[in-house]
Amino acid sequence: MAKTILITGGSRGIGSASALLCGAQGWNVAINYAHNTDAANATVAAVEAAGGKAFAAQGDIRDEASVIALFDRTVEVFGGIDGVVNNAGIVAPKSTLAEMDIERMRRVFDTNILGAYLVAREAARRMTGGSIVNVSSAAARLGSANEYVDYAGSKGAVDTMTTGLAAELAPKRIRVNAVRPGVIATDIHASGGQPDRAERIGSKLPLGRAGTAEEVAEAIIWLLSDKASYVTGAFVDVSGGR
């Protein structure tokens, strides 16, 4: 039977690439996004062209009511939820901690920590089995000095939540894992004011290049699938060797 997967931040980048691979498996996909309706609709069309079913749902993961409504709609449309890709996240412009203002830190923590926790909480309430994949970052290990230690810390929180929630939900046979992408070529770098970041840093990585959203999506799809049936509380680094 077709699985139903809910993806936050599914309109662009890693979320969109994951949605496409879900579509190619013939799965149903709920595609959440924040602002970019055109990109979300394009992802829906691509999922359907690949062989799945999809709908787009605008909603800010920082807002509890929006997160609840997203899960309600997914259950209403597809009848249940087998997998959640807890992916939506942001970075802010390059800065030392000494120079960060509170508004910026609140935005990063509200999205990457509170938003991710709200999505995971709702998944824990609704799911009766299946798989949750949190999209963390290699930054959680590396710390992102002089760039964004707020972001790195927010992903550290996602890692800790992954460990705890995996243990909480194991008795319900819900697996909880995280992928930790390294430098991946998506729009996120431009949104943080560094459009050349993937190319610039990529060439200095052990594998000599930045990764692609599809390469991260492959790991996500594996963790969602029954092929990863004995994997929980694990971290899959998709980071080119760093």
Q: What are phi and psi of 22, to 5 degrees?
A: -60, -45
AA letter at 3: K
Smallest CA-to-CA distance from 2 within 28, 23, 21 is with 28
87 binding ligand NAP? (CB under 6 A): yes
- Structure tokens that stand for 123 in this block: 């998944």
Return the number of the residue (165 or 170) whose C-beta is nearest ligand NAP.
165
Kindly indicate which of the ranges 19-27, 57-65, 99-107, 200-208 contains the residues binding ligand NAP, using the contact rule CB under 6 A: 57-65
CB closer to ligand NAP out of 3 and 12: 12
Nearer to ligand NAP, 11 or 74 (CB): 11
- Give the tokens for residue 215: 């390469």
Q: Is 148 a catalytic residue?
A: no
Q: Which among 22, 26, 152 is positioned nearest to 85, based on CA atoms?
A: 22
61 binds ligand NAP (CB under 6 A): yes
Contact by Cβ (8 Å): 218, 174: no
- Residue 89 binds ligand NAP (CB under 6 A): yes
Structure tokens that stand for 151 in this block? 């972001």
Q: How far is the CB of 78 from ligand NAP (least distance, A)?
A: 19
Binding of residue 135 to ligand NAP (CB under 6 A): yes
Identify the active-site residue in 33, 148, 151, 230: 151
Sketch the per residue contact string, 23 through 52, with ligand NAP: x for CB under 6 A, - otherwise.
Answer: ---------xxxxx--x-------------
- Strand pairing report for 83-86 and 53-58: unpaired
Taking the CA atoms of residue 210, residue 207, residue 216 and residue 88 in that order, the dihedral angle to the nearest 10 degrees is -40
186 binds ligand NAP (CB under 6 A): yes
82 lies in the site for ligand NAP, by CB under 6 A = no
Structure tokens at 57: 């749902």
Per CB under 6 A, contacts with ligand NAP among 151-180 are none
Examine residue 13 and tell whether it contacts ligand NAP (CB under 6 A).
Answer: yes
Return the closest-CA partner of residue 183 out of 159, 206, 160.
206
- Does 144 help bind ligand NAP (rule: CB under 6 A)? no
Phi, psi of 184 (to 5 degrees): -120, 135
DSSP 8-state assignment for residue 137: -
Report the interface residues with ligand NAP, using CB under 6 A: 8-9, 11-15, 32-36, 39, 60-62, 87-90, 111, 115, 135, 137, 181, 183-184, 186-188, 191, 213
Q: Which residues are catalytic?
A: 151
